[in-house]
Amino acid sequence: MWGGRFDKAPADRARAFTRSFPIDRRMYREDIVASRAHAAMLGRSGLLPQDSVRAIIEGLDGLLEELVACGGPSLTDDEDIHSFVERELTERIGEDGRRLHFARSRNDQVATDFRLYCKGFSLRLADALLDLMEVLVTRAAEEAETVAPGFTHLQVAQPITLGHYFLALTEMHERDLAEVIRAFSAADVCPLGSGALSGVPYDIDREGVAEELGFSQISRNSLDAVADRDFVTVILNACAGLAGHLSRWSEDLVVWASPGYQLIRFDEAYSTGSSMLPQKQNPDIAELTRARAASVLGVAVGWQATLKGVPLAYGLDLQEDKRAVFGVEDDLLVGLSAITGAIATATIDRARMADLARQGYPEAIEIADYLSELGLPFRDAHAAAGRLVRLAESKNVALLGLDDSDFSDVDARLPGEIRNRLDLRGIVDRRSSYGGTAPALVADEANRARQRIDWNRDRLRELVRDGLPQPLRGIIGD
């Protein structure tokens, strides 16, 4: 494409290093759709004859139909997806194919294609995330009354309901969803028409192209338009945050599935065994989710390290944005699907949950609260409850195993009523402040969370409908 300036062809080893077609060929839909919009605009603006425009559009439509049918381009010797499309188009329609690149640079072309791709990726990611959130909310409703251990420092702290735990995960992922949608908005700017960096010397219809491609706005500065990859940073940071959240509760699941805890058992379809040890059933889905989070974080940090050294407007460094995003997309979408299935089919040992929730004297705060209600300053009440814990430890009994005299030795007001305050179910029932773990609150919040998921589903459908051109909508799902 630049042979007129050069006497020598690229060295094989140089071309092997710089060509991107093996990576960016998955962007074939976006490149063809954007090229089609560009050709139509050239016709409307009188920059290309209508016969040439019709030939280009028909050729691009035919190419797209064939590539979709066969699952995308096979690996060829082309430099990148853009040269592949131009070559294929020219072979089909002849000289008119070589007119397509008029009033367009590779710089604004690739930025447009990749913004379209990142918009689609953010919506695919949102769709998968909503699938996971639906499972979490379903499990929360199922386990709204299941007493479970609440941990701090991996030690039992207070009893909670397991439904409360699942809703905590839902809250985390609602924030992730907001960041993913923000990534869609960051990419929703059309740079086509910016040329190499300074614009083009023609009266082109940039607004019309943006509307046809589903962009809500056009870039305001041609230099920034071809240099900007902040939208890539936004989507990678959103992915890193999501992966970090997945890793945190995958770590919980790995611990809970271990012999020392035995709180949860993964379905055999979402477990693996050992090639040597016949008895093993390993939580590999959760473990690999935890590991992939480190990979996603590394890519996000590595991308920012790449971007910080690229002077305006363009350097081939920016070509690495595809490698970063495509790898993260593959890791996250497959991982989200797997962990969604794993948590949907996992079995909870409710009796073991309740047994573990009793360990470590989690009722102690009830004693401190009770004494505070009777007028004792909380710090004094806290100290009294601590003395009872030490006494129970020395006798190797639970707090309810202490004698009335043990309670009265610490505070004469304790015997009697306090025993009614130490039942685990009563403890969780009393945590009834808004956002608390009481079963009734959990059930209500699960319903509200499901309503928010439904609202976000509708919002996602609107973004697909309004934010992507028709040929790109089918790759999001329902």
Q: Which residues contact 110 (CB under 8 A, 6 or more apart)?
A: 82
Which is catalytic among the residues 274, 337, 408, 432? 274
- Strand 217-218, strand 189-190: pairing: parallel
DSSP letters of 402-455? S-HHHHHHH-TT-TTGGGGG--HHHHHHH--STT---HHHHHHHHHHHHHHHHH
Q: Which residues contact 254 (CB under 8 A, 6 or more apart)?
A: 283, 286, 287, 290
Burial class (CB in 10 A: 0-12, 13-18, 19+), 436: middle
- Strand 155-161, strand 189-190: pairing: unpaired
Is 153 an annotated catalytic residue? Answer: yes
Q: CB-hemisphere CA count at 13 Å for 84? A: 26
Q: How far apart are the C-alpha atoms of 196 and 175, rounded to whole Å?
A: 37
Q: How far apart are the C-alpha atoms of 290 and 399, rounded to whole Å?
A: 38
- Strand 264-265, strand 217-218: pairing: unpaired
Rg, C-alpha atoms of the chain: 30
Q: Which residues contact 53 (CB under 8 A, 6 or more apart)?
A: 39, 40, 42, 43
Is 382 an annotated catalytic residue? Answer: no
Reading the block at residue 153, the tokens are 């420092």
In DSSP terms, which residues pair with 147 in a beta bridge? 161
Which is catalytic among the residues 153, 394, 405, 433? 153
Catalytic residues: 153, 274
